[in-house]
């Protein structure tokens, strides 16, 4: 019985041990699966980042040998946004080849170097491609194309600023050109102050001088707004002065455009009236039939117009369509009047003036019979062979 009892105990112990082994194996498998899952997830997260860095959008400016100040600012800002600025300013130094971080440094250094090379003009690439590090490329470009102590460049820039005028150009173009020159000067002549209060004071004086320069170059038609800006309290920055002047220029452009439209409308109206006058005069001259207000009115060679004549001035020899008092005198009126007066003064006897003030109608005359009619007595003193007379 004792032997049998021990045998049963051994069986129980074996089963317990087997269960423990099974549980341990299961835990191990689950732990391995969890770790593998974490590794895969980490790789998936890292792979897009690496791809994005290699396929990053190119820098939007190319170094051509003459634009180093602007190019360097744009490139430095771009690399800083990628958190790789240490590769061009020396903060991240090259590790030993046996260092575990060397492989990562080598990859990222090549990426930054590629950004620099790709942002150059194709003709310049061969001058810098063989440098091994991005910092060497960056420093070599600076030595080649920039000398901060070049006073001749600063002099040339300041001279361009002083000679800059708006003239007949746009206010936007004038302001942008000034800002470009000022940025170049600031790059070569940075703020020399160390104390924050001194830096602020220096910048304030610099802004004030630039406002004076900006206002001095404005077109003379903006003279009033120039005076308004100078009286602003507190004194504006150059950006604020530009915004103020730009609003005034836009207002003037709108007003001028409106005036041009009004002038065009007036000229169009006068042109239509001129055509109407010419048509009316031709109808009167030829004794043709004209229509006014739906009523036909005929002028026949020296006779009164049917329908009572002109409803405006009361003259019986023309209607309102041919009335100069309504539609305005034609351009040739004064010349014609002076010519006729000269002929009368010279004794030609060809024209008879009924009164000092014209009665606003041009009437065709015909050769009259030797015996004057009542209408001819009414018209004045026509002469044989006359073609025109004013009434």
What is the C-alpha separation between 85 and 67, in angstroms, rounded? 21
Query: What domain range is 29 assigned to?
Result: 1-51
Domain end position, chosen among 92, 127, 145: 145
What residues contact 88, with CB distance under 8 A and at least 6 apart?
Answer: 76, 79, 112, 116, 134, 135, 138
**Are 304 and 371 in a shared domain?**
yes
Report if residue 262 sits inside a domain: no
**Are 93 and 125 in a shared domain?**
yes
70-120 tens-digit pLDDT: 898 899 999 999 999 999 998 999 999 999 999 999 999 999 999 999 999
Report if residue 350 sits inside a domain: yes
**Are 253 and 169 in a shared domain?**
yes
Report if residue 58 sits inside a domain: no
- Domain count for the chain: 4
Q: How far is CA 224 from CA 136, 220, 345, in A?
A: 55, 9, 56
**Are 73 and 20 in a shared domain?**
no
**Are 245 and 167 in a shared domain?**
yes
Report if residue 313 sits inside a domain: yes
Report if residue 272 sits inside a domain: no
162-172 tens-digit pLDDT: 999 998 888 99
* pLDDT at position 208: 94
**Are 241 and 218 in a shared domain?**
yes
Report if residue 276 sits inside a domain: no
Give the containing element (helix H, strand E) for 161.
helix 151-163
- Whether the per-residue pLDDT at 382 is higher than 80: the answer is no
**Are 338 and 383 in a shared domain?**
yes
Q: What percent of the chain has pLDDT over 90?
A: 34
Least confident of 80-89, 152-161, 262-271: 262-271
**Are 229 and 208 in a shared domain?**
yes
**What is the DSSP-derived secondary structure letter of residue 93?**
P
Domain end position, chosen among 116, 145, 174: 145
Report if residue 62 sits inside a domain: no
What is the C-alpha separation between 31 and 25, in angstroms, rounded? 10
- Whether the per-residue pLDDT at 131 is higher than 60: the answer is yes
**Are 140 and 156 in a shared domain?**
no
Report if residue 132 sits inside a domain: yes
Strand partners, 295: 292
């Amino acid at each position: 019985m004792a032997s049998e009892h021990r045998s049963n105990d051994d069986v129980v112990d074996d089963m317990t041990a087997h269960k423990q082994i099974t549980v341990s194996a299961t835990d191990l498998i689950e732990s391995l699966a969890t770790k593998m899952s974490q590794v895969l997830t980490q790789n998936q997260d890292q792979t897009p980042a690496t791809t994005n860095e290699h396929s990053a959008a190119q820098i939007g400016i190319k170094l051509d040998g003459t634009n180093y100040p602007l190019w360097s600012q744009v490139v430095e800002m771009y690399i800083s946004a990628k958190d790789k600025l240490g590769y061009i300013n020396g903060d991240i130094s090259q590790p030993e080849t046996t260092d575990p971080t060397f492989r990562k440094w080598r990859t990222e250094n090549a990426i930054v170097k590629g950004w620099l090379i790709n942002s150059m003009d194709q003709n310049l690439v061969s001058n810098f491609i063989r440098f091994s590090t991005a910092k060497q490329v960056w420093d070599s470009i600076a030595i080649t194309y920039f000398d901060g102590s070049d006073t001749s460049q600063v002099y040339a820039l300041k001279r361009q600023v002083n000679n800059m005028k708006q003239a007949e150009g746009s206010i936007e173009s004038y302001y942008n050109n000034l800002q470009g020159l000022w940025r170049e000067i600031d790059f070569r002549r940075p703020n020399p102050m160390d104390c924050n209060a001194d830096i602020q004071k220096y910048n304030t004086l610099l802004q004030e001088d630039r406002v004076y320069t900006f206002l001095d170059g404005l077109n003379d038609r903006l003279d009033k707004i120039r005076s308004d800006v100078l009286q602003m309290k507190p004194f504006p920055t150059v950006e604020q002065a530009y915004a103020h002047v730009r609003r005034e220029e836009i207002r003037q452009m709108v007003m001028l455009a409106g005036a041009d439209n009004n002038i065009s409308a007036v000229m169009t109206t006068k042109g239509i009236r001129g055509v109407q006058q010419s048509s009316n005069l031709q109808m009167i001259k030829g004794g043709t039939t004209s229509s006014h207000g739906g009523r036909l009115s005929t002028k026949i060679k020296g006779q009164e117009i049917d329908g009572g004549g002109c409803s405006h001035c009361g003259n019986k020899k023309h209607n309102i369509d041919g009335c100069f008092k309504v539609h305005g005198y034609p351009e040739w009126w004064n010349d014609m009047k002076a010519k006729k007066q000269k002929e009368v003064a010279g004794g030609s006897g060809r024209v008879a003036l009924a009164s000092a003030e014209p009665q606003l109608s041009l009437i065709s005359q015909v050769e009259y019979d030797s015996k004057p009619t009542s209408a001819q007595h009414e018209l004045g003193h026509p002469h044989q062979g006359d073609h025109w007379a004013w009434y």
